[in-house]
Amino acid sequence: MRDSASIPYRQTARARQTQLRRGKLPLHQQLYDILRGRILAGQWKVGEMIPAEPELVEQFGVSRTTVRQVLERLVQEGLIVRRQGRGTFVKEPTLEQGLVRLVSFTEDMRQRGLTPGTQVLSQQLVTASQELAAKLNIAPGAELAHLRRLRLANGEPMSIEESYLIHEHCPGVLQEDYAANPLRETLVVKYGIQIVRARQVIHATAASKEQARLLGMAHRSPLLSIERISYSQYDDPVELLYIDYRADRYSLYNELRD
């Protein structure tokens, strides 16, 4: 049984439930932001047990599935740890967490105080070439969902993203409206696929005429290009992603610690 410190959460459960349901973001994203914020702000200290699943369900008025989805995401990020028979505890931060965190474009822009936007350029089913198949560890000719998007920040072009997803893992994924719905959210909610790690290569390139037109810059202007292979919670490759950022509007950084 938890001590009296948990009582205020119960007393404000109705208010918290109203807060979540009135938000514009999906409930699981709102709950994730709140729980993660409490951990990072030190409201729950390292080694402290956080409320159990039934308690979180009651506090925030969401389903147990939503709570488990959020807790699993926090586990994968190294913020909490489950101890069988004891509960879920705030985890000591790891070096990897300090160096790298896998963040979607939508979340990244929101954290920067910008409004994210998306324009879908194309979406279609294609067959995997030998090169794509090798990167995704599938057979050549396998069916891929190909999604190409222009990503915006406060209405201005920021990057071009080109995704190749193994269609067998997410059949019908191209039926969604990705001008309105984040791809990663669709993978989690509709297919139970969580992106938990990725390998990527970063290099400098020059904008082609089409890229320059889409990004509103001069031909052969510098781009920051990324090739990323993302893996699910089962350690299977899920997506091959090519991103071309405007080098004059975007920078990547790592936080290094002694």
pLDDT tens digit sequence for 190-244:
999 988 888 888 899 999 999 999 999 999 999 999 999 999 988 899 999 999 9
**Same domain (yes/no): 106, 93:** no
Task: Using the structure block, give the residue that is written with the tokens 């004891």.
Answer: 86
Asked if residue 45 is part of any domain, the answer here is yes
Q: Is 255 exposed, middle or buried (0-12, 13-18, 19+ CB in 10 A)?
A: exposed
Boundary of a domain, candidates 40, 69, 97:
97
% of the chain surpassing 90 pLDDT: 48
How far is 41 from 107, CA to CA, in rounded Å? 18
Residue 7 confidence class, pLDDT cut points 50, 70, 90: very low
% of the chain surpassing 70 pLDDT: 82
Asked if residue 59 is part of any domain, the answer here is yes
pLDDT value at residue 33: 85
**Same domain (yes/no): 139, 186:** yes
pLDDT value at residue 99: 35
**Same domain (yes/no): 126, 240:** yes
Over residues 20-29, mean pLDDT = 71
- Owning domain of residue 116: 102-246
**Same domain (yes/no): 110, 65:** no
Tell whether pTM > 0.85: no
**Same domain (yes/no): 15, 51:** yes
**Same domain (yes/no): 107, 233:** yes
**Same domain (yes/no): 113, 139:** yes
pLDDT value at residue 233: 87
Q: What values do phi and psi take at 145, rounded to 5?
A: -90, 120
pLDDT value at residue 195: 87
Q: Does the pLDDT of residue 252 top 70, yes or no?
A: no
Boundary of a domain, candidates 97, 113, 143:
97
**Same domain (yes/no): 189, 63:** no
Distance of CA 250 to the CA centre of its chain: 18
Q: What is the CATH number of the domain that holds 91?
A: 1.10.10.10
How far is 126 from 92, CA to CA, in rounded Å? 44
Asked if residue 258 is part of any domain, the answer here is no
Asked if residue 133 is part of any domain, the answer here is yes
User: If you average pLDDT over every residue of the chain, what do you get?
Assistant: 83
pLDDT value at residue 43: 87
SS3 245: strand
**Same domain (yes/no): 45, 130:** no
**Same domain (yes/no): 119, 223:** yes
How far is 214 from 208, CA to CA, in rounded Å? 10
Q: Is 133 exposed, middle or buried (0-12, 13-18, 19+ CB in 10 A)?
A: middle
Boundary of a domain, candidates 47, 62, 97:
97
86-112 pLDDT per residue, tens: 899 998 654 333 334 567 777 777 766
36-73 pLDDT per residue, tens: 888 877 888 888 999 999 999 999 989 999 999 999 88
Least confident of 1-5, 71-75, 173-177: 1-5
Q: What is the CATH number of the domain that holds 115?
A: 3.40.1410.10
**Same domain (yes/no): 143, 43:** no
Total number of domains constituting the chain:
2
Over residues 29-38, mean pLDDT = 87
**Same domain (yes/no): 192, 150:** yes
How far is 158 from 154, CA to CA, in rounded Å? 9
Asked if residue 49 is part of any domain, the answer here is yes
Residue 130 confidence class, pLDDT cut points 50, 70, 90: very high
pLDDT value at residue 166: 96
Asked if residue 256 is part of any domain, the answer here is no
More confident residue, 28 or 157: 157
